[in-house]
Structure 1
């Protein structure tokens, strides 16, 4: 499973973002790292053998023989296995029909509350019209924020095979950078993605402008802080030099 996600991420997301810019690449990579470490259910040599009914010694032998390699090895040399690969019957027991349809809506700030309500209304009208009983997740936060509560909840449901269909009004409602990676995860987990409007998002530019301003604010604060410390040190050096001159 991790290998499939990684290949899809490289092909569909990381390579295009490398071409688009270093910042986009870092954002996408950080999201993948977050997903891999927090969303995939990795277990150690103590729990993994129980999942397949063998002893830890047998599991180690299978690793050495190449029959069952771990999904990850920690810096300390500990084996970690993905439970979804060891017990697919438990993690994929719900088929696409029984899994739920989730509609996801997001805006960047509180002053876009009306836009959020509009997205929710559109989604709530569309899904029943298709005969889908749906759950809606509304989110508030920047399109560059990978740790929004609603997004984390959505990804957790997708990884746990509780979602069979994801419905959004625009691609950028998920993330400004990295939405293709979410779609790749959906493909691996067998989740249908429905995008109502594949044209330009009317509030995308406004969201992006706020994201850029947020980045500029953070870096400006750091820059001015560094300059302030530098100026303070310069003043202290001048004062110390003056005191030494007076003393002599």
Structure 2
């Protein structure tokens, strides 16, 4: 959808992560997608779209999404990579006109959405560095690469569009605050501060992620960018009847 270039326009963004759709979920999500279509202008799915990374689970999700009448933007999560079928999962959803982002961006209304899966590596002073065994360097490099992909997507939005607000969707967390509640020992596997660098520098409006099922709903980066952990279990714990978070930008 073309940018409206109208600063008074507001876009209602609904977001949820970790829906973990299973093969037995036929019919389970239709009411959810109809409800979100009534409440929002766009739906963000923040990874772990499938439960065990099977393409057959993505087929179920694609069918359920036919009940959704608003644009959908999504990234994959670690569960979607479990069986090395992530390419098939992505293609099945692309065929249903789902905007699948992996270092890509899309403009809907007055908002430009940029997305990557992200990766682990830890936060702040506890962030892992590029030192030691080759396998450790490869782990850190994955987080660096995801951060660079995100920066590239945001840069393209900056160069190709004016007067839009930028929103980022991830699976892994870019800050520690929204994973607090999880065991501290696993923080390095829940996200990386490297993701926050382009978010801060590119003047992003808001960030949505999932992955940390018992983390914290809301936090912010060191530059004050709002970050929301919209993992479905967190939203359910917060008492949302339909587990999606709404933000108007």
TM > 0.5:
no
The TM-score normalised by the length of structure 1 is 0.25
Q: Which has the higher helix share?
A: 1
Higher relative contact order (CA 8 A, sep 6+): 2
The TM-score normalised by the length of structure 2 is 0.25
Q: Decide which structure has the larger Cα Rg and report it.
A: 1
